[in-house]
Amino acid sequence: MVSIKGLTGRVILQGSPGYDEARQNYNGRFNKFPKVIVYCEVTQDVVNAIQWARKQQLPFRVRSGGHSYEAFSLVDGGLVIACPNCSKASAIFCLLLPPLPLLT
């Protein structure tokens, strides 16, 4: 059982009601199963989610609209930080991410 102490916003755990709908992505071809999904409403929710993921040593991804064709916004066994209604939080979070390597 994962402790969600420290997470704010709407938290959905794997196996909870609404989990399957929350983990869906634009491209149904990719079927990933995050351990936790947190819907952030304010910047502090994002900060708390990042701190929580680091403390739990879990990989995390950000999702703003769920339209990543390659499902880059999902992660198996990690945390999805969903920011569909929080544009400032999304921008702050994206600035903290390392750039993805270019494919050649």
Per-residue pLDDT tens over the stretch 59-95:
999 887 766 667 778 899 999 999 887 766 555 655 5
Residue 35 domain-assigned (yes or no): yes
- Provide the b/e sequence for 3-28 (b: ≥16 CB within 10 Å): eeeebbbebbbeeeeebeebbebeee
Q: 70 in a domain, yes or no? A: yes
86 in a structural domain: yes
Q: What is the CATH number of the domain that holds 54?
A: 3.30.43.10
Q: Give the pLDDT of residue 63.
A: 85
If one counts the domains in the chain, the total is 1
Q: Which domain holds residue 19?
A: 10-96
**What was the pLDDT predicted at 104?**
44
Whole-number pLDDT of residue 8: 93
99, pLDDT greater than 60 = no
